[in-house]
A and B are shown apart, each in its own frame.
Chain A
Amino acid sequence: MFKIIDKKELCENVHQFRIEASHLVQKAKAGQFVILRKDDKGERVPMSIGGLDKNKGLLTVVIQEVGKTSASMNRMKIGESFADVVGPLGIPSHIEKFGHCICIGGGVGIPPIFPIAQALKMAGNRVTTIIGARNKSLLIFEEELSSASDRLLITTDDGSYGTHGFVTTVLQKLITDGEKIDMVIAIGPVPMMKAVVNTTREPKVKTLVSLNPIMVDGTGMCGACRVTVGGKTKFACVDGPDFDGHEVDFDEMTKRMKMYAKYEKVAYEKFLHNDCHLAKQIEEMR
């Protein structure tokens, strides 16, 4: 069983879990992901690896509540277990000595940037990390990333912390200032990754993005995760998740991610309703 050893709320609707998965943790590398299933009725949901404690055998994942499954996972308690943690899946991020690397993370894309920044630094790169959030209270993993990077730059959409603007505001400035950049890797919401790719296209800076389409098995068996990269269909779970950002058809991916929107809404509302209902019942019992 995959027991939750430790859990904390990082910000509103975002929880960090440390899960017992020693075998997986020994094998996993930066840039890979796992698939979690809460219980027997549960959906298989992919989550990035947000940290690997090889000594204790603990896997870190950071889950943002966006629908029924993520919501019910975030209500799990320390000591409870996930029915399944499958992995490590996907190809690890390509790590070598590039020179100066820029790691960019947004939202729940920030945690997976952490092991990647660590690995890049270990490989002898100079690592600049840019992380962004809507406002100060939503910024996560600042401490981890400041330890893993040579330089940490922070942006908030509302200017409540760090630079006022988006991660691309800072990235554009670095480019305009003429900094030598050998490689960029960006993980975050699709609009953010798209904006990063548009910023680096003209100056022709190699840019990797980590894609998060809808998945089922995560082993190449179903094709749910197909994305168009360089005009060809790829399965993100086995051919990725990292791809050359300049080749990715983000518009198609955005549309594909809405395939079940109608159903997801029903499930989420039903869940929240039952949740409220339950809370009320518990309240009444007291």
Chain B
Amino acid sequence: MTDENKNKPINKKERMKIPRQKMPEQLPQDRVRNFKEVPYGLTPQLAMEEAKRCLECPKPPCIAGCPVEVNIPAFIKLVAEGDFIGAARKIKETNALPAICGRVCPQEEQCEQVCVLTKKHKSVGIGNLERFVADYEREHGKVEIPKLPPSTGKKIAVVGSGPAGLTVAADLAQMGHKVTIYEALHKPGGVLIYGIPEFRLPKAIVQSEVNYLMQLGVEVKTSYVVGKLDTVDELFEMGFDAIFIGTGAGLPNFMKIEGENFNGIYSANEFLTRSNLMAAYDFPNMDTPIFVGENVAVLGGGNTAMDSVRTSLRLGAKNAYIVYRRSRTEMPARIEEIHHAEQEGVQFMFLTNPIKYIGDENGWVKAMECIKMELGEPDASGRRRPVEIKGSNFVLPVDTVVVAVGNSSNPLIPQTTPGLKTNKWGNIEVDPNTQMSSRPGVFAGGDIVTGGATVILAAGAGKVAARAIHKYVMGIPFDEPKKEEAKPAVR
């Protein structure tokens, strides 16, 4: 970018000529030895250059690709003009957590997938820009605490402090309600704190979102297990007018194969919780230990698996494998994470499934018997179902295994809340227009409703719930759902 054409209007053709700006990042050989964030973020120059690529489409398809309908061309235009703070505020009109979503949204399947540039060129780096402006706003101390309306006198309890709970709390506090968050763990943030590693989402960012909530007057009570300390009904007795349940999908699935309780075999939740929440990578400076051997197999192909395998490399694994029963194209992980994992030296074993573990005399896993798979007919999810190839068994020597084959919902709240309807997977059933459950005044959203999904969907559900909770506690009737846009904000 030279000075003379800086302020010149730029036409469509010129815009299309600008290549997608690369975000600088740590070199793979350096970053596998630390837990610092991989990408450094865009510089203001890079961001403005990238912003120029947006064609400001009159009917922008990207907006519809975003589950919370961020006004993408509007914020990008502000970036191009150098008004980064304005851009951040623009995003925050619909998305309360841009610094987080800019980092962890699967943009290539959402906003960026439908960007008009995607067909012929590379899409506009919407996520990178979103991250940039949110970081800029935070780092320059420009996060604005909105003027709060007079108190409504209504009290709302939010159970769980993941993206769903944080969003509900922020929105309701800004409508003048008194919000209290109850969180089972000792730090708020849900998966953002205990699951997603520091090298992908610095914990200081999550902490600053929580601090923001507290500045809005939200009270956060940690180490508070609802259903054990107080039940949902007891919260009502304590004077809450409505309750939002955003407890996530925290129950780890195992594969139920022989030898799964050998030492060295973790659920991804345990592995990541030890490393992230308990900062075990800093043992013995921190008190919680973690074990990582030389040969680590991570089972699964989602973000959780990528996070686990990349964590294991940073903790000293020599060989870190992804063992996934389908092929590369079916992997649900974000493309960027797969790419980063590859660069860092992760070895991918596709179409492979473990069938049993082999242990030593002290009960430690020493190998994993696997079988090769091939793809058969499509299953209910539309993906081709993997089937075993008879006789293709082989043994992989491993001393650490991380099982990352999904989570189910924790039954504690449904079990202790009479009348709360759940489906056959134990997820809470809600009206999608209001997120209200079968119990009047009890709302729910995020993974506890959808099963394991995404940060932005959880946040989007929080937004819908906040609007409905406001109406509920203020005695305003819910709108009649419009037919064709039955669920506009959340896909």
List residues of B (111-126) whose CB comes within 8 Å of A's CBs. none
List residues of B (346-366) whose CB comes within 8 Å of A's CBs. 362-363
Q: Is the CB of A221 within 8 A of B410?
A: yes
Q: Chain B's nearest CB lies how many Å from the CB of A100?
A: 32
- Note all chain B residues with C-beta closer than 8 A to A260: 289, 291
Stretch of A46-54, A82-90, A153-161, A165-173 that contacts chain B:
A82-90
Contact of B269 among A27, A42, A222 (CB under 8 A): A222
- Note all chain A residues with C-beta closer than 8 A to B266: 223-224
Contact of A226 among B184, B224, B261 (CB under 8 A): B261
Stretch of A106-114, A134-142, A199-207, A264-272 that contacts chain B:
A264-272
Docked pose: A87 CA to B228 CA in angstroms = 7
Q: Is the CB of A216 within 8 A of B278?
A: yes
- Note all chain B residues with C-beta closer than 8 A to A258: 263, 362-363
Contact of B284 among A27, A37, A220, A267 (CB under 8 A): A267
- Known contacts A86-B186, A219-B184, A220-B250; A267/B222 CB under 8 A: no
Interface: A56 (CB within 8 A): no
Q: Is the CB of B228 within 8 A of A84?
A: no
Q: Chain B's nearest CB lies how many Å from the CB of A64?
A: 17
Q: Chain A's nearest CB lies how many Å from the CB of B237?
A: 13
Q: Chain B's nearest CB lies how many Å from the CB of A238?
A: 8
Q: Is the CB of A86 within 8 A of B269?
A: no
- Known contacts A43-B278, A85-B223, A216-B270; A221/B251 CB under 8 A: yes
Complex: chain B residue closest to A257, CB-CB: B263
- Note all chain B residues with C-beta closer than 8 A to A227: 261
Q: Chain A's nearest CB lies how many Å from the CB of B144?
A: 30
Docked pose: A85 CA to B223 CA in angstroms = 7
Interface: B394 (CB within 8 A): no
Docked pose: A85 CA to B225 CA in angstroms = 11
Complex: chain B residue closest to A42, CB-CB: B287
Q: Chain A's nearest CB lies how many Å from the CB of B72?
A: 35
Contact of A224 among B224, B229, B270 (CB under 8 A): B270
Q: Is the CB of B223 within 8 A of A86?
A: yes
- Note all chain B residues with C-beta closer than 8 A to A267: 283-284, 287, 289
Over the window 74-106 of chain A, the binary record of Cβ atoms lying under 8 Å from chain B Cβ atoms (1 yes, 0 no) is 000000000111111100000000000000000
Complex: chain A residue closest to B285, CB-CB: A41
Q: Is the CB of A84 within 8 A of B186?
A: yes
- Note all chain B residues with C-beta closer than 8 A to A83: 186
Count of chain A residues near B, Cβ 8 A: 41
Q: Is the CB of A259 within 8 A of B270?
A: no
Complex: chain B residue closest to A225, CB-CB: B270
Docked pose: A238 CA to B184 CA in angstroms = 14
Contact of A221 among B186, B252, B264, B288 (CB under 8 A): B252
Q: Is the CB of A24 within 8 A of B229?
A: yes
- Known contacts A41-B286, A260-B289, A263-B283; A219/B186 CB under 8 A: no
Interface: B185 (CB within 8 A): yes
Interface: B260 (CB within 8 A): yes
Q: Is the CB of A263 within 8 A of B263?
A: no
Interface: A277 (CB within 8 A): no
Interface: B107 (CB within 8 A): no
Q: Is the CB of A27 within 8 A of B228?
A: yes
- Note all chain A residues with C-beta closer than 8 A to B224: 86
Q: Is the CB of B287 within 8 A of A27?
A: no
Interface: B273 (CB within 8 A): yes
Over the window 247-290 of chain B, the binary record of Cβ atoms lying under 8 Å from chain A Cβ atoms (1 yes, 0 no) is 00011101010001101101101100110001000011111110
Interface: B412 (CB within 8 A): yes
- Note all chain B residues with C-beta closer than 8 A to A69: 287
- Note all chain A residues with C-beta closer than 8 A to B291: 259-260, 263
A-B contact pairs, 5 of them (CB 8 A): A23-B229, A216-B278, A217-B273, A223-B254, A255-B363
Beyond the given A43-B288, A221-B273, could you list 5 further A-B residue pairs with CB under 8 A, ordered by the A residue number?
Answer: A24-B229, A87-B228, A220-B412, A223-B267, A259-B291
A interface residues (Cβ-Cβ under 8 A, vs B): 23-24, 27, 37, 41-44, 68-69, 83-89, 216-217, 219-224, 226-228, 233, 238, 252, 255-256, 258-260, 263-264, 266-267, 270
